[in-house]
Every structure is written in C-alpha cells, then in structure tokens.
Amino acid sequence: MAAQEKPNATGSFGPAVKSPGEAYVWLTSMGLAAGLIMVVFLMGLVVVKGVEAFWPRRVVQVTLKDDSPFKLIGAATYGGELTMRQEKRSRTIQASSDSDIPHMEMQLFVANRDVYGLSFKFLDVADIKSTEQPGSIVKLERIDGGPAIGTPLRIQFDGEKSLAADAAEFPAELERLVKEANERRDEIHHIEKKDVGRINARLEKLSRRQRTLEEKAESGADIQARIAEIEPQRSELQARYETLAAKARGLRDEQETVKLVYRLMSGQERTISVGDIIHYYHPNRLGGLQRVGLFLRNIWVFLTDEPRNANTEGGIFPAIFGTFAMTLLMSIAVMPFGVMAAIYLREYARQGATVQAVRIAVNNLAGVPSIVFGVFGLGFFVYFAGGTIDSLFFSDRLPTPTFGTGGILWASLTLALMTVPVVIVATEEALASVSRGVREGSLACGASKWQTIQRVVLPAAAPGILTGLILAMARGAGEVAPLMLVGVIKHVPDLPIDATFPFVHLDQKFMHLGFHIYDLGFQSPDAEAAKPMVFATTLLLIALVVILNLGAIVIRERLRRRYSTGAF
Amino acid sequence: MEQVQDKPASASDAAGQDDRRELRVEAAEPKSPPAEDFDPKLIEIVNFDFFYSQAQVLHDISLEMPEKHVTALIGPSGCGKTTLLRNLNRMNDLIDGVRHKGDIKIKGVSIYHPHLEVISLRKRIGMVFQKSNPFPKSIYENVVYSLRVAGVKDKSALDETVERSLKSAALWDEVKDRLHDSGLSLSGGQQQRLCIARAIANRPEILLMDEPCSALDPVATAKIEDLILELKKDFTIVIVTHNMQQAARISDQTAFLYLGKLIEFDETSKIFTNPSKKQTEDYVTGRFG
Amino acid sequence: MSHFEQEVAELKETLLRMAATAKSVISKAVKSLVERDDDLAREVEEEDDAIDQLEIDVDEKAVLLLSKAPLAKDLRLIIVALKTSHDLERVGDESVTIARRSIELGKEPQLKDYIDIPRMTAMAIDMLDDALDAFVTADADKAKGIVPRDKEIDALNKQMQRELAGYMVEDPKNISRCLHLMTISKSLERIADHAKNIAEEVVFLYEGRDIRHAANLGGDHQI
C-alpha cells in the first residue's frame, strides 16, 4: 500500500502552483474600476450641479461693516440667495487680516439686475457684521430683467387704491392677481401667435398670389379680374387683424394697470406691473414639503417652458423638442440608406477588390471630423440642393430662402451622412452572422435571393441592425459642430413640428440641447447666472440620449427573443 | 426478386425444414410493397461530370432513380455524394466557379434547360439538411414558408397545409397546441422533423435528404427512419448517409460512390449482403473509408 | 487486425474446435460399437457435453457479433456459424445415440460382422472433414462437391435397413439387436445429412448463393 500523500497548506497535492495570469485579472478589473469611477464622478458632478439649479434656496440679508469694500452700490445692507461659500481664492492684502487664518468668502445671487447692474456678488465673510433671513422677502420671476428679490410693500391699483403688504388679504389678493396676469398673458400669446399668425400667413399667400398674377399679366394674359379679387380679401383680413391687434393691445394695457411696489434689501423702492410677474414665492418661509414642491415645479417649468431672457431663464422645451425631432429625422434618414447599402455590399456585390475598397472607404468615413460634415452639408445640402429647391418651388418667396438656408431637414441629413458608416458596419456584421444554414434552407424552399433576405435574413439580423442604430443615434444626438452650420439657431419661436399646416416644417431652423449648452456657456451675457442652466441642460442631454438608447435596447431585446439565432 | 414456389414437403424433410422455408418466403418479400406503377427513371443522371473550378469532383456518373423509392448514396467522406445530391436541385449553383458536363433529367426534362427557372425547380424538390435549420419564426410560419414565398395567402389553405405536413412528419400531436411558438424552441429531433414538414409542405415530387439523422440521438433517428418509410409512398427520396445500417434499413437502391466515381449501384439487399465489387464489400464491412 | 476481425477469428476457432470434437465423437462411438467397449461409449457422452457447451459458446459469440450489425460477408459468416454449430451439436447427439445403442448391443452377442457400418462412418467423417476444410480454405467448389455424396450414404442406409429387416423376419430373437443396429444406421445417415448442410452453408458463405433444397425447389437461389 503506497503511502498516502498529505495535502499541503493550500489544500492541494504536490507543490503549490500559482494559477498563472492572476495579476492580469486584477489589472483588468482595475481598468474597469477606473472607467467606472470616471463615469460616476462625471455623472455625479453633472447631476449635483444640475439639480442644484432647481432647488429653492434661502435668501440671506447681510449687513456689512462700515468700511467694507464689498458694499453694493454704496449700500452696506443687501441680500440675496446664498450660492457659494468657499475659501477665498484671491488674497488681497488687508491691514487687519491675519495671513494664517483662512478667509472665507461667499457669493450671493442678489438678482435685481436692473438696479445693481450685476446678478452675483462676492464678499468676505469676515466683513459681515450681521446676517438675518427675513421672512417677508419675496423672489419674483419676471418677464425680463431677471428675478427680483425684495420685500413687498403694497399693491397699487389703478387710481389711488392700494393694498398694504401687512393687510390680511394681501397674500390671497396678490396670488389672484398674478394668476390672472398669467392667464391674460397666455391669451395675448395665443392671439398674437396663433390668430394673428394665421392671418399673416394668409396675407402672405395673397401677396404671393398677387405677385405671380402680376408676373403673368405682364406677359400679356388678361387676369386683371383675378388681381381685382385679391384686394377685397386682403382688406377683410386686414380688418380682422385690426380687431385682434386691438384686443391684444387692450389686454396688454390691462396687464399694466395693477402694480406691485417692493423694497430691495439695500433700501431702493421699485415698482413692477403685476402683468410682468410670472411667479413668486417667499424663500425663507418654505417648509420642507413646499420646498420639494417648488423644486419639482422648477423642473417642470424647465422642461416645458420656452426660454426667456436670452436663454438664461425659463425652460428649454424647444431645445428638447428640436434635439428629439432632429435625432428622429436623422434615424429615419440613416436607416434605409445604411441598411440597403450594407445589404448590397454583403449579399449582392461580387466580393472582390472593388467591394473591399468600398468597405474601407466606408470605415474611414467614420473617422472624418464632424465639422467637415457640417461644411459639406452647408455646401451641398443648403446651398446646392436647397438653392435648387428654392428656385424650383419657392421662387415666389425669393430672395428669402426657404430651403436654401439651414433647417432641420438639412441638419438631419448631414448627421445621417455622418453616422451612416456606423450603421453600415453594424448591419454588415449582423447580416454575416446569420448562418448559412437558414439561407440555404430558404433557397431550397424555392425562395428567391431577395425573398430570402427579406423574410429570413433581415429579421434574424434585426437585433444587430438596431445596435447600429443605437450607436448612430448616440453619436448623432451629441454632435454640435456640424449643426452650427446647417440649422441650429440660438432661439426660435416656433417648433419644427406644430399644428399649422403642413405640420412638419422641414425648412425651419431649430433649437438643440448641445448647441444650447455652448450658447449658454460662452455666449450669454451673464455667464454666472447661466452656469446652473448649463449643468441642467447637460444633464438633460445625457438623459435624452440614455432614453433614446434604452428605447432602442428594449426593442432589440424583444427582437432578440423572437429571432434568437445570431450572435447579436 | 426470388421465385418462390409452394411445393409440398417431401417425406425426408423433418418438421424443422418447414419452418425454414416459411422464414425464407418472408425474406423474399421486399421491405415494403412497391407502388403500383411508377416511373423507373424519375431522376436520370447521364454521364455527369462536375467541377469546382479546376478540380473534378464527380466523374461520369450515370444513375437512374425510380419514383416513390428510396435511393441511398453511400461512400467515404469526400467521395462526392453530397455534391451529387446538391446538384439535383441545383443548390451548387450558389458556389462560384462550378461547371458540369453531362446532364441530369427529372421526368425526362433536363434541369439545366435554359428556359427552366431554378426557383421553380426548387419548388418541386424539397431538401432536408444535415444540421436542422428551422427559421427563427413560429412553427406555423416555418411550415408554410414555401407557400408564402410562392404567394399563397389564403388562410384556410395555409392551415390545411400546416396540419397535413406536420401530420406527415409525425410532429402534429406534439406541437398542435403551440403552432405559434418559435421553431427554435423544439428539441433537435423535433426540429429536424419540422424541417421535413417544411420540405414537404409544397407537395414536391422529390425529397433530398443530406445525412438527416447524423446530429440526432437513436430515438429521434428511429422516428425519422420510420417517417421516411412512410413518406416513400408519396415522395421519391434520395438520401445521403454515413450509416450503413440506416441505408440497409430504409433504402430500396443504394449507390456506392468513391472518389467521385460510381462504383456500384444495385438493390440495397444485394449491396449489403452480397455486393459485387470488392471495393463495395470492403467499404460496407468497414475495412476502409 | 481490428477488434471485430479478432472476435470473428475467435468465433471461427471455437467452431473448428467444436468440429474436431464432433469428428472424434463419431469415431469413438462407432469404435465402441465395433470393439464392444462400454468405457469408450461412456466417454462419448462426456465429450458430447463438451460439444453442447461449445454450441452455447459459439451462439453467444455470434449474437454479440450480430449486435454490431455486420454486413456482407461478415453477416453471412455469423449466420453460417450459428447454423453450423447447430448441425454439429446434432452430430454430437446422434453419436451419443450410437454409443448408447452400442452399450445395449454389448449385452448380447454380436449379430454379424460390422462391414457397412464402419464404411458409412468413414464416409460421413470424410464428408464432415471436407466440409470443414472447405470452410477453412474458402473453397466453395469443394463444398459443392460434398452435396451429392450424401446420396451414397442414403443408399447404404436403405440397404442396411432392408438387410436388418430380413434378419428380424428370420429369427425373432434377432429383433432387439436389429432394431439397435437400424437406429445406429439411421443416426449415421443423419450425421451425413448434417455434413451436407454444413457444406451448403459454406457455399452460401463464400458465394452468397443458397443451394439448399435444389432438388425440391428447382435451381439455386441467388441473394
């Protein structure tokens, strides 16, 4: 009986052998961890800063020392939302300061730009004599000029009537008035936008028709009667326009009748028409639940309202809509082209040097800088194609270009061109992964090559094709550079898809989240005020891309379950 | 076939001899009764040469396969039996650079006739492959695929085809309650039977089978062999197989190919009990190949 | 040599051993008659047990080989082995009959000189020898030549039966001895039949033709 070997300390028989390559496992996991940490950090930063923009903050009123250099237009007492508290970055030599003790400074959002000329103010904490958080402070969101922060004094009605702020019915009255003002504003908007807009469109059509008729008349045809018809129509429309304009004017006047008088913390008294107030609240009187409610309201406004005040206030709904619409149009454009090109390359073309060359060219197209696509889009789509369309179909509108200028159509097509290589490559891979067996099976059943592709190969390759679409959407939704040349605009009053015929306005310029971020960050007049919006918009853009991708992933999963055959 | 005469037993034959003769009488009967009248030359292969670019893969093959019989093609790997099979429905056309000499005729008409559409040829011939290849569609859609590509839309015709084909393929009872489940959810043997159902759905005249059981377990194999014996009543079947015993079990004629040449072609019973050529004997008894 | 071929060789070898024992058993049985040696007769019975065991051996090996689904000549060989073992086992049994009858005959005086019986025996053993030779040397023609020789032994048997019948009529005291001798003659005739069967099976093995019952059914039967 041979002597039994005893297991050694590690529980194995024989010399302990380290499994080779363990170190690489750690290396790979570290790589993954590093990547994850970066993503988490970035997302965290964006989320925190973005959400911060919506959280209603308290307003503090500070009284500075008499000799403080941080007075605000001479006033030693002023206040605002506390936005930052940090160690002082720039060290100014002060006689009374001790270089060892860290200086704290804080930043206040003092609002009231119409009075102070600025929105944010830094001041040393050391210079503060006293602070308080008055409960009566109100933050007013105004139509323009940015927000106002102050204490309401009274409501001034038309004539001499007024309602003091300490009156019992003051809060309710103010609320009612602001609500009324908002409704009136909506009505004005409706009249001016929709009704007047419609009349204007009809008037324009009439003028164009007149012009065409005049051109025909010049060439001899006798259509004076037709021209004559136009005049009465025009007057009728004109009359209607007058009525509406009058109504609007009346409403606007009403907006101006009631005024609110308030005092800034630095002492100045100001008056504002109630019609100019969009929303107000008492920052220092909010309970926890109210704060959350306000927070949610802010987010809602952000998502659904139009921008105001050079894009620093209000919402960014048009940008959301524009991004979404453009990505959708781009997907609709890229899918057929990409898929059909891939089908031809993979299934029909004789595999040889030419096809390989085409494939290489397509792959390289993916590496071209996106701005180059923008330039190409500008030259080819906008000037050439757009110009030709204009001269053929919209000559009566010239020299105002319809399609001869940037618009959502050209932008979508440009981006489609940019993302087509991705779709082609992914589709080719997906087609190649469909096993020869099912293809032969289909042909043996008497199907033609096209029927085989249409009925068997494409459904089986669908998950992979959708992967290509996801990648294309992700790339396209985030690109900004080419868009700047072919169709985005800082601000546009209309959406590319709305209720007026022809409902989809392909020639219209549009707003885009990516461009909005650039615009806010670098081109807005008040960079500090725009910072929260930048983060919020970034967060939104990321969220939008994630939602689009998730949608495509869900569809792909469903397809994969039904057609599980390939490797995708 | 043997001549069997029923003579009375002579005095010298003890009781044991009677059993012997009765047994032999049974042995003389063919495996299953042949069709009443059939075309002995449904598929005619005439001096057929086949080339993949420069390499000649089939040399001067001449064969006649009768209607409603099972013809087996046997031979070692690379002998050309699958190539020959795939030529019958011109599946080899899919490969670049193939050429042929000689002819293959079905019902007297050459399959290479310039006016013959390959697709119409393939509609008349069903094929079952070595690895079952059901489409990633429902069972129902798999079976009616040939009808759909031919443009048939009438739901009742499709339903009837599904039932008939699945019953013929001995799969109906197992799947009749889940016709709209994916074809890929079936077991290996069931998938192959589904492929058989799909192949016979359009009522082709000829059924080609390329090692249909090689990827299946014995139970599934037995089911499919049984199926082939049943299908023989309605279809002409050509089957390529590596399994000698399978060929012995189910085929009526067997062709032995080696290195692209036809070595022997005869009744199955002769090939497997007393082949004429030594090469055939050696292959069949496993001495080579 | 593959495993299968080895097993087939073992089967053949067992069969040949069985044949050798069968031959020895026939000679012994007739020798025990001629020399009136009871001990020899009893040996025959023991050797027949050996033959029976060998039949079981051969059949087991054959069934095992059949399960491997042999074809063509392998298939025919297995079938021939099964049948031949049966024939040889019957030969053994017939020899035992001869031995037992010779013990009985030994209890009475010898009736007459044994001339024809040894002759028949020699012929039968020759037939068996030749059949097994043909089996070993794959000589189908030799095997075919064995078949007609059976007729000679049949004729001898008939002659024997007539002669013994005469003896029985002559003197009733001869009856029991004559009956024993008639049985022995019949047994030898049957042994020759079995040798003929083996020869026919050898032809089937090597030519694939079934030449049995040619006289009755007319012609050879080709597979």
pLDDT digits (tens, 9 = 90+) for B129-183: 999 999 999 999 999 999 999 999 999 999 999 999 999 898 999 999 999 998 9
Give how far Cα B42 sits from Cα of A270, A451, A489, B101, B195, Å: 106, 30, 75, 20, 24
pLDDT of residue C82: 95
Our CA-based measurement puts residue A350 at a distance from the nearest CA of chain B, in whole angstroms, of: 10
Of B126, B127, B133, the CB nearest to A438: B133
Q: Collect all residues with Cβ–Cβ distance below 8 Å to A487 and sequence separation of at least 6.
A: A406, A407, A408, A409, A410, A411, A509, A510
Evaluate whether C71 touches B248 at the Cβ level (below 8 Å): yes
pLDDT of residue A5: 61
Q: Using N-to-C axis directions, what is the helix angle for A353-365 and A408-432, rounded to 10°? A: 130
Contact flag C73-B5 (C-beta cutoff 8 Å): no
For residue C206, give the amino acid letter. Answer: Y
Structural domains counted in chain A: 3
Same domain for A249 and A345, yes or no, is no
Contact flag A448-B127 (C-beta cutoff 8 Å): no
Domain that includes residue A332, residue range:
321-511
What is the Cβ-side half-sphere exposure of residue B28, based on CA atoms within 13 angstroms? 15
Give how far Cα B120 sits from Cα of A446, B2, B149, B178, Å: 7, 42, 11, 31
Evaluate whether C11 touches C81 at the Cβ level (below 8 Å): yes
CATH label of the domain that carries residue A473: 1.10.3720.10
In chain C, the residue whose alpha carbon lies closest to the alpha carbon of B281 is C72
pLDDT digits over B212-255, tens only? 998 888 888 988 898 899 999 999 999 999 999 999 999 999 99
Q: Give the Cα separation of A76 and A73 in Å (integer).
A: 9
A495 falls within a domain: yes
Burial (CB count within 10 angstroms: exposed 0-12, middle 13-18, buried 19+), residue C172:
exposed
pLDDT band, very low/low/confident/very high, at B30 (cuts 50, 70, 90): very low
Contact flag B123-A564 (C-beta cutoff 8 Å): no
What is the token pair recorded at A153? Answer: 């004094």
pLDDT digits over C137-159, tens only? 999 999 999 999 999 999 999 99
Our CA-based measurement puts residue C161 at a distance from the nearest CA of chain B, in whole angstroms, of: 15
A556 falls within a domain: no
pLDDT band, very low/low/confident/very high, at B14 (cuts 50, 70, 90): very low
pLDDT of residue B27: 41
Best residue in B117, B119, B133 for a mutation probing chain A (most A CBs within 10 Å): B133
pLDDT of residue C145: 93
Same domain for A353 and A483, yes or no, is yes
Our CA-based measurement puts residue B235 at a distance from the nearest CA of chain A, in whole angstroms, of: 16
Contact flag B119-A456 (C-beta cutoff 8 Å): no
A552 falls within a domain: no
A143 falls within a domain: yes
Same domain for A401 and A458, yes or no, is yes
- Using the CB atoms, write b or e for A279-314: b if 16+ within 10 Å: ebbbbbebeeeebeebeeebbebbeeebbbbbbbbb
Same domain for A242 and A264, yes or no, is no
A461 falls within a domain: yes
Q: What are phi and psi of B25, to 5 degrees?
A: -60, -40
3-state secondary structure A90-146: CCCCCCCCCCCCCCEEEEEECCCHHHHCCCEEEEEHHHEEEEECCCCCEEEEECCCC
Q: Give the Cα separation of C213 and C200 in Å (integer).
A: 10
Tell which residue, A430, A453, A469, has the closest CA to residue A567: A430
Burial (CB count within 10 angstroms: exposed 0-12, middle 13-18, buried 19+), residue C163:
middle
DSSP string, B30-79: -SSPPPSS--TTSEEEEEEEEEETTEEEEEEEEEEE-TT-EEEEE-STTS
pLDDT of residue A8: 61
**Looking at the complex, does the CB of residue C175 fall below 8 Å from at least one CB of chain B?**
no
Q: Give the Cα separation of C22 and C90 in Å (integer).
A: 9
Pick from A237, A257, A277: which residue ends a domain? Answer: A257
Same domain for A226 and A360, yes or no, is no
- What's the CA angle centered on A465, arms A484 and A38, to 5 degrees? 60
With an 8 Å Cβ cutoff, the interface of chain A facing chain B consists of 435, 437-438, 440-448, 451, 455-456, 459-460, 562-565
In chain C, the residue whose alpha carbon lies closest to the alpha carbon of B284 is C71
Q: Give the Cα separation of B53 and B100 in Å (integer).
A: 10
With an 8 Å Cβ cutoff, the interface of chain B facing chain A consists of 89, 91, 94, 119-120, 122-123, 125-127, 129, 131, 133-137, 145-146, 148-150, 182, 184, 195, 198-199, 202
In chain B, the residue whose alpha carbon lies closest to the alpha carbon of C221 is B2
For residue B251, give the amino acid letter. Answer: S
Pick from A267, A301, A335: which residue ends a domain? Answer: A301
Tell which residue, C104, C109, C94, has the closest CA to residue C28: C94
- What's the CA angle centered on A261, arms A257 and A265, to 5 degrees? 155
| Four-CA torsion C208, C211, C217, C222, nearest 10 degrees | 20
Contact flag C2-B284 (C-beta cutoff 8 Å): no
Q: In this structure, how many other beta carbons lie within 10 angstroms of the beta carbon of residue B284?
A: 26
What is the token pair recorded at B169? Answer: 């393929």
Q: What is chain A's Cα-based Rg?
A: 33
Best residue in A435, A445, A558 for a mutation probing chain B (most B CBs within 10 Å): A445
Q: Give the Cα separation of A30 and A35 in Å (integer).
A: 9
Q: Using N-to-C axis directions, what is the helix angle for C140-170 and C175-207, rounded to 10°? A: 170
Q: Collect all residues with Cβ–Cβ distance below 8 Å to A406 and sequence separation of at least 6.
A: A378, A382, A485, A486, A487, A488, A489, A509
Find chain A residues with C-beta within 8 A of B182's C-beta. 562, 564
Contact flag A446-B182 (C-beta cutoff 8 Å): no
A275 falls within a domain: yes
Our CA-based measurement puts residue C72 at a distance from the nearest CA of chain B, in whole angstroms, of: 4
pLDDT of residue A90: 58
Q: In this structure, how many other beta carbons lie within 10 angstroms of the beta carbon of residue A175?
A: 11
A174 falls within a domain: yes
Chain-centroid distance, C-alpha B155: 31
Asked if residue C96 has pLDDT above 60, the reply is yes
Pick from A460, A490, A511: which residue ends a domain? Answer: A511
Contact flag A440-B129 (C-beta cutoff 8 Å): yes
SS3 C71: coil
Contact flag A444-B89 (C-beta cutoff 8 Å): yes
pLDDT digits over A311-359, tens only? 667 788 888 888 888 888 999 999 999 999 999 999 888 888 999 999 9
pLDDT band, very low/low/confident/very high, at C190 (cuts 50, 70, 90): very high
Find chain A residues with C-beta within 8 A of B146's C-beta. 445-447
| Four-CA torsion A556, A562, A566, A567, nearest 10 degrees | 50
Of A440, A441, A446, the CB nearest to B119: A446
pLDDT band, very low/low/confident/very high, at B112 (cuts 50, 70, 90): very high
Same domain for A235 and A295, yes or no, is no
Same domain for A251 and A265, yes or no, is no
Same domain for A487 and A345, yes or no, is yes
Evaluate whether B150 touches B180 at the Cβ level (below 8 Å): no
For residue C131, give the amino acid letter. Answer: A
Contact flag B273-C71 (C-beta cutoff 8 Å): yes
A30 falls within a domain: no
Same domain for A149 and A170, yes or no, is no
Q: Give the Cα separation of B289 and C20 in Å (integer).
A: 38
Q: Give the Cα separation of A399 and A401 in Å (integer).
A: 6
Please, what's the largest Cα pairwise distance for chain B? 73
- What's the CA angle centered on A510, arms A505 and A516, to 5 degrees? 165
Chains C and A make contact, 3+ CB pairs within 8 Å: no
In chain A, the residue whose alpha carbon lies closest to the alpha carbon of B136 is A563
Same domain for A326 and A450, yes or no, is yes
Same domain for A212 and A267, yes or no, is no
**Through-space distance between the first and last CA atoms of chain B, rounded to whole angstroms:** 30
Same domain for A356 and A460, yes or no, is yes
Q: Give the Cα separation of C22 and C4 in Å (integer).
A: 27
3-state secondary structure A477-517: HHCCHHHHHHCECCCCCCCCECCCCCCECCCCCECCHHHHH
Asked if residue C87 has pLDDT above 90, the reply is yes
For chain A, 568 residues long, give each residue's pLDDT as a single digit of tens. Answer: 455 666 666 666 667 677 777 888 889 999 999 999 999 999 999 888 888 888 888 888 888 888 888 887 878 888 888 887 877 765 555 544 555 556 788 888 888 888 888 888 888 888 888 888 888 888 888 888 788 888 888 888 877 788 887 888 888 888 888 898 999 888 888 888 888 888 888 888 888 888 777 777 777 666 677 777 778 888 888 888 888 888 888 888 888 888 888 888 888 888 888 888 888 888 888 888 888 998 998 888 888 888 877 666 778 888 888 888 888 899 999 999 999 999 999 988 888 899 999 999 998 988 899 999 999 999 999 889 888 888 888 877 777 788 888 888 899 999 999 999 999 999 999 999 998 999 999 999 999 999 999 999 998 898 889 888 888 888 888 888 899 888 888 888 778 877 776 778 888 888 888 888 888 888 777 777 778 888 888 888 888 888 888 888 888 888 877 766 443 3
